[in-house]
Amino acid sequence: MSAKTVLKVLPGVVVLVVLAVLPYISVTIPGILPGRVNGPGSLQLLAVCFIFAGFALSYDVIFGRTGLLSFGHALFISAGSYLLTISLSTWSLPLPLAIVVSLGLTTLLALVVGGIALRVGGIAFAMVTLAFAQAGSIIILRNPGDLTGGEEGLVLNRAAIPSILIGVQNASYRYWLALGFVVLAWVLVALLARSRAGHAMAAVRENEARAAVLGFTVYRVKLLAIVVGAFLGGLGGVVHAIVLGGSSPHLATAEFTLALLVMVVLGGAGRLWGAVVGGFVYHYADARLIELSGSSLVSSLPDLIGRLLGEPLFILGSLFVIIVYFAPQGITGLAVRALRKERA
């Protein structure tokens, strides 16, 4: 391995090591985390942030790397989550088999949805994927055969989960599980980006007609992107169900897919670190702003300002507009430009 490669890899390895040892660090960072760094609340918050980073990375395969504007990605994430919960709670399958069933059926669903939706292009494709996602959301809320729990969601069968992943005292293991998921997703997407399939996706994103002339089968390339993104999203849904102890109908909503789009654009579409940073920052800001909105600091401000700051979606929306306006390549694009200026 050359010195240049080592210098490129080293920062990521250092960050990963620091994140891996956080459950052993007993310090308090006021205003940043809710309590000690290795406290259950902080570790749970960080774990869900990692999961959302993985969600964003899975959507970036479709949107950022292939240029497909899909409004149906929430369908695959919720499918992974609900299929795991149903497999464990209703079908009484062992955990390894339940994970295989969940990912297998989610991948099959992606083949069907993608195969149909890709018969059209542009905004029509986005509307078809939205229709599938809405259908999935309605099915979940209607609770057919008492399978999905309706608006209340579905609780995970704890007896089928390893004991080290259950309980407040085991928050660190759930944290490591979530960290492992986002690292695995990052590695898989990095390998995909460097493969022939990844180059084909980039070609389709830039110019479909030119990609076809170069010999790529555009339909198959797009379908592969949807299937890979769905697989990673379904895996994230599985981890989300384990970490949070069940499945939530919110994962199936069109609002959640729009949130994924915001995460990817916020971090930087088509960049390996972009989706990760965007997903992490989005959920962290959302969770912390909800806590801030009910604080005494906000209530002590003038009425209009207090009401605005008491709405997390308003603040996130404003942040999104600012990032898009001043940094169209996202947070990571802004960082890359700053580093280039320093080196120049």
- Residue 268: its pLDDT value, please? 87
Q: Taking the chain (344 residues) in consecutive chunks of 10 residues, what is each chunk's mean pLDDT? A: 62 87 89 87 95 96 94 96 95 95 97 95 93 94 91 91 92 96 96 94 92 91 97 97 95 88 89 90 85 61 64 73 77 73 63
- Residue 299: its pLDDT value, please? 60
- Residue 317: its pLDDT value, please? 76
- Residue 315: its pLDDT value, please? 73
Residues 6+ apart with CB under 8 A from 45: 33, 34, 284, 287
- Residue 289: its pLDDT value, please? 76
Give the C-alpha separation, 78 to 73, whole Å.
Answer: 9
Q: Secondary structure of 264-291 in the HEC alphabet?
A: HHHHCCCCHHHHHHHHHHHHHHHHHHHH
- Give me the CATH topology for the region 42-343: ABC transporter involved in vitamin B12 uptake, BtuC (1.10.3470)
Give the C-alpha separation, 208 to 224, whole Å.
Answer: 15
Give the C-alpha separation, 231 to 80, whole Å.
Answer: 8
- Of 188, 288, 173, 282, nearest to 233 by C-alpha is 188
Considering the entire predicted model, what is its pTM?
0.91
Dihedral of alpha carbons 139, 141, 144, 147, sign: positive
Burial of 255 by CB count in 10 Å (0-12 exposed, 13-18 middle, 19+ buried)? exposed
Give the C-alpha separation, 204 to 313, whole Å.
Answer: 34
Residue boundaries of the structural domains of the chain: 42-343
With beta carbons less than 8 A apart as the criterion, state whether 81 and 241 touch. Answer: yes
What are the strands, taking DSSP E only, across the chain? Answer: 154-155, 246-247
Treating both helix axes as pointing N-terminal to C-terminal, what angle do 272-293 and 330-343 enclose, rounded to 10 degrees? 120
- The DSSP 8-state label assigned to residue 36 in this structure reads B
- Residue 296: its pLDDT value, please? 59
